[in-house]
Structure 1
Amino acid sequence: MPQGFLDAYDSRRRAFLWSGEETISGAQCLVSWERACLPKKDGGLGVRDLSLQNTCLLLKLLHRVHDTTDSAWARWIKAEFGGPLDAPVHNEAGTH
C-alpha cells in the first residue's frame, strides 16, 4: 500500500481509538501512536503497525518468488517476465 494511504488510514484509526470520531486533535490522544503500536508486553496497546506489516508482506512475496516454484505468485512472475531475475528494473507498474 502507498505510504499516503497508510498515513490517512492510521489517522482515522487513531481518531476512532481515542474519540470514536473521524478526526481528532493531538491533545485528545492519551499516548503517542508509536507507543500504541507497541506490543502489550512492551507497554503498548497492541495496535498493528500497518507500515511494518505491509513491508513484511511484500518481503514475504519476494521470498516466495525466489524460493519456491509452486506458488501462484512465482508462476505468474515466470510466465510474465521469464523469472524474478529477468523482471524489468523499473516500469510504470513499479520496481521489484
Structure 2
Amino acid sequence: VLSALPAFALAVLRAPKKFHKEVDKARRRFLWAQDEDISGGKCKVNWKLVTSLVDRGGLGIPDMERFARALRLRWLWLAWK
C-alpha cells in the first residue's frame, strides 16, 4: 500500500524529487522504525538493496523515482504507438 498510493499519482503527474525522497523516507520508517524517527543506525539493510528485485536478494519494493519515470515513458510509448 505504501508503494501503490504514490504510484497511482505518479502514473500521470511528474512529482518533484523531494516528493520521491519523502515517500522513500516514509517507507523506510515503516520498515525499520515504525512510529519513531528514522536514523541510519536503525536501518538494517541498504535501501538500494531493499529496492532491488527479489531474485537479486532485495525485497522487491520499487524505487519511486525510477518507477515514476518508467510509468511516464510507458504513457509516451502508448501515445506514440
2:30 corresponds in structure 1 to: 16
CA 62–19 in structure 1, closer or farther in 2 if over 3 Å, else same = same
Q: TM-score scaled by structure 1?
A: 0.65
More strand by share: 1
- Aligned AA (1:56): A
Say whether 1:40 aligns with 2:54: yes
RMSD, matched Cα: 1.2
1:23 Cα deviation after fit: 2.5
Contact map agreement 1:38 1:44 (CA 8 A) in 2? yes
1:22 Cα deviation after fit: 5.5
Structure 1: runs of 5+ lacking an equivalent: 68-96
Residues in 1 aligned to 2:77 and 2:54: alpha-carbon distance in whole angstroms = 29
Residues in 2 aligned to 1:8 and 1:22: alpha-carbon distance in whole angstroms = 15
Larger Rg computed on CA atoms: 1
SS of the equivalent of 1:28 reads coil
CA 61–18 in structure 1, closer or farther in 2 if over 3 Å, else same = same
Structure 2: runs of 5+ lacking an equivalent: 1-14
Percent identity at matched positions?
A: 34
More relative contact order, 1 or 2 (CA 8 Å, 6+ apart)? 2
Residues in 1 aligned to 2:33 and 2:19: alpha-carbon distance in whole angstroms = 21
1:51 Cα deviation after fit: 1.0
Q: Deviations over 1:44-74 (max 9, x none)?
A: 111111111101100011112211xxxxxxx
Residues in 1 aligned to 2:55 and 2:45: alpha-carbon distance in whole angstroms = 16
